Chain A
């Protein structure tokens, strides 16, 4: 008998109750075991991390991004010390301390709410990672945060280098800009073995993007022993478990030395005064190195570093002159008459392609009566030139002469020479988003539905004067004119001359990169250069206004039609329209040339968007660039 629960009569009930207690205890023990298994087996790894985080706090050390210098050593992009406030969510009491931080940092309500939400949302180990809440702290914020640092657990202020572009708008498209690295990019680069952290900047466009790997350097990481509140411990009585240990030594980024000349860039900018939009490229004709790349209007990359406000970004995006576009390489245009020297060369170099007759001979003349009729269609010239030979046709930019050449050569021969000179393919300059332009031939027209899969001779005529569907970039023109000037050496345009280690040792050095040697008869080349000199020097030359004694400039003017069909243009001209619309339909003004003509040093290509007549608007800019270059940059 179990005497505890009294007489047998009451036994069953008590027995039952005792069993309930026993069952209860068993269940509780089972629950505890399940919980222990959950903590120690299934979630164990997570807690190990947390436990490690408790006494070892890893601190990130920002690296110094490499600087960018121009050919003369002037800084184009460098870093300035700035301070960033970070919050480590796990150690920060958001309910209590957030309003204080908002006050100290003077955050607007919208930004404050967004940040707060973000900080609250961070999960897991990310809660142990410092999250940037305010960058580029001003003196007042810095003073407040430093003074009250001790009261705000989980808040830290770190020195973080900030990128500065001292030239502001100048060369902005070349240099590019940085902005904050995205979550997706962090993940992607982590897979490649490189560590970005939230708040880090990454090269977004231009050289900053292309040379990101060289410039960025490597973040450092140091492990420090901290106390329970995340504050670094000075002394610790437990010996071994203390001190600082570098896990990764920070490595500064490498520096870029460009061929670009900041003073020349300023000269170009000055030459473009009064024109709202355009672009220019200056190349070393002997090497292909870029001396200036200019696109107007521009933007201030410094504004992008901090992250542009939505309104500012909208202003930039909606600007009809496209300030964010690098017009030297990101956009292509009809080359207009700038294409004529290549059409001429196509004829000169392969007379066998021409029908027997007077046009074999560059000295032979053809009568221009102001227009050319083909299959009932009128192809107009700029004026009535009368009898012109090749030289005069280039000097005076006679379309009719080139219509004749084109009709005899056919479009494929034009395209062949154009491609030799690098048109229709990317130059390969190491810049983001370069476009290849377009060099149409018969096959191209036959593949296009909008042309009914048909080729017509008229297309060759348009191609010869750089209209129709021929599209080129300024950079291609500059490289091609350089090849014309230097006797057939087509160089790849390059911006970076050297990459230097932080200590100044040379890591990479770049020489001229020959794309191809273009075979041409030196006699033909001389004839072309003479004609191009005539453009500036001869009284009938289209750029004769700009003839400057002492500057031997050989060049070509161009006027590229913007509206597709002249008839449309004329019809619309009769309508009443705004000044801006009128402006938008004005032709683009071109000038491409090199100097000195007999021993070319530099090539200059100028585009004045909607500038109008090339000889009047683009040539003066180019000549000013030549003049100032030989006066101030490379006096002879």
Chain B
């Protein structure tokens, strides 16, 4: 592993001068044996984040929990349950050969889309003005969490299959844009502007790395930007969000409320923070802080040091994920590792950025840390897949030789 980790693109040599001779499709390549060890650093990082999340969730939610449910551990105990399920899911998924998803791509995609359609079509539960959840017994499922990962899997599958054709407009570009657009549109209807933006960004990132023509990507931006503008300007609540992001203090009590309170939390934390449990913002000034604004509580109670550690953990996670992607001998696996890693990192960045007032409010959970079962399970599953990919990309002697 140590040897593998040091390998970089620079080792490959001036391959760019060589004629473009496509290798056989990945399907025909000899499958790497799943004999490698999984990425322990990645797994440890994720487990740390989940444990950290439990602490912060309790700190952030005990006041509100006591008020709403009469038990300060209401949110904590539920999240402990989800965490247990999540760890099990992660471990379980790490044993499912990732190639299986190639076959399951369309069923997963269908499930994601159906979930979204069901939510939009009237089966959804409305919480705080947005219909994003499907009540499933005692649990509210959030189909957009599944949809995001489904679209990523499908995109990876598709670009891996099409290989060079990705460069073409009709085969490599249009279908991806259409399907991603449809999913994003369904998210918008909920409304879940954040997930829609995440899907859009993921599409661009995967197509970009897969080799789509830059001109197509830029060209599509010219189409997308006016559409996005229309979507924002056409909705009072979204334009209010954007405007309040630009100057949250202006309408502090209404649209700018959470943004302002969240920034206050960060600022009040200073370098060392107020100490765990000592934050004031969660005293109902920042409603549902345990959810989308958990990083604000981190900022307030653990200060800049805590924020550094949190960002460091996600940075490590990204580094490990990209290393897995780079090492993977399987094209699909490589794309999948890249996509899943980017998806997790992107949501973390957006969440922290929003809490610090650096990005508009999106209502995105902080992966692993925020309260919420759907988010946690989906992300734990993603890591499980990543771990499985890391096992296959492990340093078998054959691969090591191959790489030199």
How far apart sit A241 and B281, CA to CA, in the bound complex (Å)? 13
Check if A44 sits within 8 Å of B358, measured CB to CB: no
How far apart sit A13 and B331, CA to CA, in the bound complex (Å)? 16
Check if B349 sits within 8 Å of A9, measured CB to CB: no
A residues 37-68 in Cβ contact with B at 8 Å: 37, 39-41, 43-44, 46-48, 50-52, 54-55
Interface-located stretch among A26-34, A198-206, A516-524: A26-34
Report the minimal beta-carbon distance from B144 to chain A, rounded to whole angstroms: 22
Check if A2 sits within 8 Å of B264, measured CB to CB: no
Q: Is A18 an interface residue (CB 8 A)?
A: yes
How far apart sit A10 and B88, CA to CA, in the bound complex (Å)? 39
Contact of B358 among A17, A22, A31, A241 (CB under 8 A): A31
Chain B residues whose CB sits within 8 angstroms of the CB of A9 once the complex forms: 15-16, 18-22
Report the minimal beta-carbon distance from A131 to chain B, rounded to whole angstroms: 16
How far apart sit A1 and B261, CA to CA, in the bound complex (Å)? 50
Check if B270 sits within 8 Å of A44, measured CB to CB: yes
Report the minimal beta-carbon distance from B355 to chain A, rounded to whole angstroms: 10
Check if B264 sits within 8 Å of A8, measured CB to CB: no
Check if A51 sits within 8 Å of B267, measured CB to CB: yes
Chain A residue with Cβ nearest B349: A28
Chain A residues whose CB sits within 8 angstroms of the CB of B285 once the complex forms: 54-55, 228
Chain B residues whose CB sits within 8 angstroms of the CB of A14 once the complex forms: 209, 211
Chain A residues whose CB sits within 8 angstroms of the CB of B266 once the complex forms: 36, 39-40, 47
Chain B residues whose CB sits within 8 angstroms of the CB of A373 once the complex forms: none
Chain A residues whose CB sits within 8 angstroms of the CB of B261 once the complex forms: 54
Q: Is A93 an interface residue (CB 8 A)?
A: yes
Chain B residues whose CB sits within 8 angstroms of the CB of A11 once the complex forms: 9, 12, 15-16
Check if B283 sits within 8 Å of A41, measured CB to CB: no
Given A6-B23, A7-B21, CB of A39 within 8 Å of CB of B267: yes
Check if B304 sits within 8 Å of A32, measured CB to CB: no
Residue of A21, A37, A229 ringed by the most chain B CB atoms within 10 A: A21
Contact of A6 among B22, B303, B311, B322 (CB under 8 A): B22
Contact of B356 among A32, A51, A237 (CB under 8 A): A32
How far apart sit A37 and B266, CA to CA, in the bound complex (Å)? 10
Interface-located stretch among B127-135, B173-181, B334-342, B378-386: B334-342
Chain A residues whose CB sits within 8 angstroms of the CB of B280 once the complex forms: 51-52, 54-55
Chain A residue with Cβ nearest B20: A9
A residues 360-394 in Cβ contact with B at 8 Å: none
Chain B residue with Cβ nearest A37: B304
Contact of A43 among B23, B267, B328, B338 (CB under 8 A): B267
Chain B residues whose CB sits within 8 angstroms of the CB of A238 once the complex forms: 63, 283
Check if A48 sits within 8 Å of B209, measured CB to CB: no
Report the minimal beta-carbon distance from B207 to chain A, rounded to whole angstroms: 10
Check if A41 sits within 8 Å of B358, measured CB to CB: no
Q: Is B254 an interface residue (CB 8 A)?
A: yes
Chain A residue with Cβ nearest B266: A39
Interface residues on A, range: 35 or more
Interface residues as binary, A226-237 with B (CB distance below 8 Å gives 1, 0 otherwise): 011100000001
How far apart sit A399 and B253, CA to CA, in the bound complex (Å)? 82
Q: Tally chain B residues at the interface, Cβ within 8 Å.
A: 73
Residue of B16, B251, B325, B335 ringed by the most chain A CB atoms within 10 A: B16
Check if B211 sits within 8 Å of A51, measured CB to CB: no
Chain B residues whose CB sits within 8 angstroms of the CB of A583 once the complex forms: none
Main secondary structure on B side of the interface with A: helix
Check if B334 sits within 8 Å of A3, measured CB to CB: yes
Q: Is A25 an interface residue (CB 8 A)?
A: yes
Chain A residues whose CB sits within 8 angstroms of the CB of B311 once the complex forms: 29, 32-33, 36
Check if B254 sits within 8 Å of A6, measured CB to CB: no
How far apart sit A10 and B331, CA to CA, in the bound complex (Å)? 13
Given A29-B315, A40-B267, CB of A2 within 8 Å of CB of B326: yes
Check if A47 sits within 8 Å of B12, measured CB to CB: no
How far apart sit A291 and B331, CA to CA, in the bound complex (Å)? 106
A residues 201-247 in Cβ contact with B at 8 Å: 227-229, 237-238, 241
Check if A36 sits within 8 Å of B356, measured CB to CB: yes
How far apart sit A13 and B264, CA to CA, in the bound complex (Å)? 44
Chain B residues whose CB sits within 8 angstroms of the CB of A44 once the complex forms: 267-271
B residues 49-94 in Cβ contact with A at 8 Å: 63, 66-67
Given A8-B18, A25-B345, CB of A15 within 8 Å of CB of B12: yes
Check if A40 sits within 8 Å of B211, measured CB to CB: no
Chain A residue with Cβ nearest B402: A1
How far apart sit A46 and B338, CA to CA, in the bound complex (Å)? 41
Q: Is A453 an interface residue (CB 8 A)?
A: no
Q: Is B307 an interface residue (CB 8 A)?
A: yes
Check if A32 sits within 8 Å of B358, measured CB to CB: yes
Q: Is A4 an interface residue (CB 8 A)?
A: yes
Q: Is A35 an interface residue (CB 8 A)?
A: yes
How far apart sit A54 and B289, CA to CA, in the bound complex (Å)? 15
How far apart sit A10 and B16, CA to CA, in the bound complex (Å)? 6
Q: Is B183 an interface residue (CB 8 A)?
A: no
Interface residue ranges, A against B (CB under 8 Å): 1-15, 17-22, 25, 28-29, 31-33, 35-37, 39-41, 43-44, 46-48, 50-52, 54-55, 90-91, 93, 95, 153-154, 227-229, 237-238, 241
The 9 A-B residue pairs with the shortest CB-CB distance in the complex, in nearest-first order? A47-B267, A12-B16, A4-B334, A8-B15, A9-B20, A51-B268, A11-B15, A3-B329, A40-B304
Please give 5 more A-B residue pairs, beta carbons under 8 A apart, in addition to A5-B209, A9-B21, A36-B308: A35-B356, A48-B270, A54-B261, A55-B285, A237-B66
